[in-house]
Chains A and B, each alone.
Chain A
Amino acid sequence: MSGDAVSLSRRRFFEVSAGALTTALTVDANAARLPSDAAPVQAAAGGLDLTKLTIPGAAAQLRGRTLSAVELTQATLDRIANVEPRVGAFITIVADRALDAARQADREIAAGRYRGPLHGIPFGVKDTYYTRGIRTTAGSPVLADFVPDADAAIVERLRTAGAILIGKLKLPEFSFGGTTPGCHNPWDLSRNAGGSSGGPAAALAASMLMATMGGDTSGSIRNPASTCGVVGLKPTFGLVSRRAVVPISWTLDHLGPMATTVEDAAILLTTIAGHDPRDRFSARAAAADYAGLLNRPVKGLRLGVLAPSELEGFHPDVRQAFAEAVTVFERLGAQLREVTFPARMRTAAGAQEIIRIAEAATYHRRYLTSAAAANYISDVGQPGTAVSRVRTTVEAGSLLTAAQYLQAQRARTLFLADTHKAYAPLDALLSPTMPAPAGVPASPRETFRSWWNLSGFPALSLPCGFSTDPPGLPIGLQISAKPFQDALVLAVGQAYERATGWHTKRPRL
């Protein structure tokens, strides 16, 4: 670790994590305060409406020089200044660096060196992604002073494509959990954004960013994407490099794009996908132009539909929205067939848990056996602080034996075979992403998310409606397919998106 490390006390960290923008802006030495004379969004960029802007729309204006990268970046910072105090999506904002990068992008575009559709586009990453010279906390006081000297592979690729890093986004401590403390759901600020990639999802839903990156070990991209009404893709395991990102579990972690449209997610995937010799699980699969592979007709595709019997315990509004989504695909000409899974798949989530925890405990050992252990957010005897069960989880996980871990990995082999068998007659499978809208209790028999981490199959979540009770909360549809069928998953998602328009809805903030 090197670079311009920023010292941060534990108390200060909690203040930042609580989501106060003004505090966040003062803790990063590289992050300038927003200008005091910040103009409203529309005035800042000549009528630019960030609630409607997509990557291709912005890219066309940037390339045609009717919009500058500086204008877009400033408009983004203005929007953040206006909305972030209520949402709490960011841990760190790097305004000065972003504006410097935007000026550089403008110079390059003016000189005819346009790099592609992400040139000049602002983005944010979950605060597990290493960012050179910028604090990377993983949402934990344990890493409060960690300033990496290199970028994550994904950040590196996005920067090379000319994208502009705006900031680091909120998550629960070390990505453990399905909610993100201090991160409010833009559709109902009294509710949580979901997790663990809650910051990336909330920033999109609040139109603070149009491109973010999340992480998914048990569903952590798809959960907040569904909960906040945005698009999130967990790509095929190995398609996207995991290099230089704080892990939970080496064999279950996936990194992927989050956006407000499927096309935007496809553009981001095109940039970040591809073999990385420095990630030992990176697949030697050729990267594709995922945006170019959209617009594929759904007619004739064999789409599996999770049988109603599998949705026991799901909220009625979720079941209704899912049923309506299925009828959309029927109208589009897909061949639908009901799918059930073998009863033994009920144990898959348990195997996933053991693998995840054993691997996490191994990663965390260096902290558990040092003074850093005292810095975990505690769930014991610490009233008043945000509760985190990370320390308990990894301490108990440290007591598992190698034989127990490997038995879970053997079970994984069985579930992988079951999953391949279930998908053999299908092109893709449809299921609800979450059993209930944000903060609504549900007791599903199975959540249908972590299975795809266990198998590595790609899975996309996109908006498919809103709840009625309570009213106005987003509901997500999950589309999954066989390994390396990411382009198909995106194409099916885009066909649905075009047929429905749910993705165009934005919360009033």
Chain B
Amino acid sequence: MDITKDFIRTLAAANGLTIPEERLEVVQRQYESYLRTLLEIQQLELERETEPSILYTLEDMR
């Protein structure tokens, strides 16, 4: 799909952000760059069981 300034404006609004009109283009380009990076990440063959690195354990508080 095409990423347009309208798309960025709408997505930002859905996330509670107002991006000023004059900033939409630079934000759009930056967002597209992130999507390209994410595409590379999605092509990695991750095991079904792979968990994210952000995990924690609770201490025994008894």
Contact = CB atoms under 8 A, between A and B. Distances in A.
B23 A380 contact: yes
B17 A395 contact: yes
Contacts of A392: 23, 26-27, 30
Contacts, number: 86
Q: How large is the interface on A (under 10, 10 to 19, 20 to 34, 35 or more residues)?
A: 20 to 34
Interface in A280-303: none
A151 B26 CA distance: 37
A332 B43 CA distance: 43
19 contacts: A251-B53, A347-B41, A350-B37, A353-B37, A380-B22, A380-B23, A380-B26, A381-B22, A392-B27, A393-B30, A395-B17, A406-B54, A407-B38, A407-B41, A408-B38, A408-B41, A410-B50, A412-B53, A413-B52
A410 B51 contact: yes
Contacts of A353: 34, 37
A400 B34 contact: yes
Given A354-B41, A399-B15, A400-B34, A414 B50 contact: yes
Contacts of B28: 396
Contacts of B8: 399
Interface string A388-415: 0101110111111000101111111110
B48 to A, nearest CB: 11
Contact of A395 (B27, B40, B41, B53): B27
A396 B38 CA distance: 13
A331 interface: no
Given A354-B37, A396-B30, 8 more contacts: A251-B54, A347-B40, A357-B34, A368-B17, A392-B26, A395-B19, A398-B17, A399-B11
Contacts of B51: 410, 413
A351 interface: yes
A379 to B, nearest CB: 6
Interface string B7-40: 0100110011101001100111011011001101
A354 B12 contact: no
A414 B46 contact: yes
A406 B50 CA distance: 11
Interface of A: 251, 344, 347, 350-351, 353-354, 357, 368-369, 379-381, 389, 391-393, 395-400, 404, 406-414, 416
Nearest to B11: A399
A409 B55 CA distance: 10
A251 B3 CA distance: 30
A414 B44 contact: yes
Contacts of B22: 380-381
| Nearest 4 CB-CB pairings of A with B | A409-B52, A396-B30, A350-B37, A396-B31
Contacts of B15: 398-399
A477 B40 CA distance: 30
Nearest to B59: A284
A357 B42 CA distance: 17
Given A350-B37, A369-B17, A395 B44 contact: no
Contacts of A350: 37-38, 40-41
A411 B53 CA distance: 8
A389 B30 CA distance: 10
Nearest to A346: B40
A46 B51 CA distance: 61
Contacts of B41: 347, 350-351, 354, 407-408, 411
A464 B53 CA distance: 34
A60 B12 CA distance: 59
Contacts of A357: 34
A369 B27 contact: no
Contacts of B11: 399
A412 B53 CA distance: 6
Contact of B50 (A351, A399, A413): A413
A357 B35 CA distance: 12
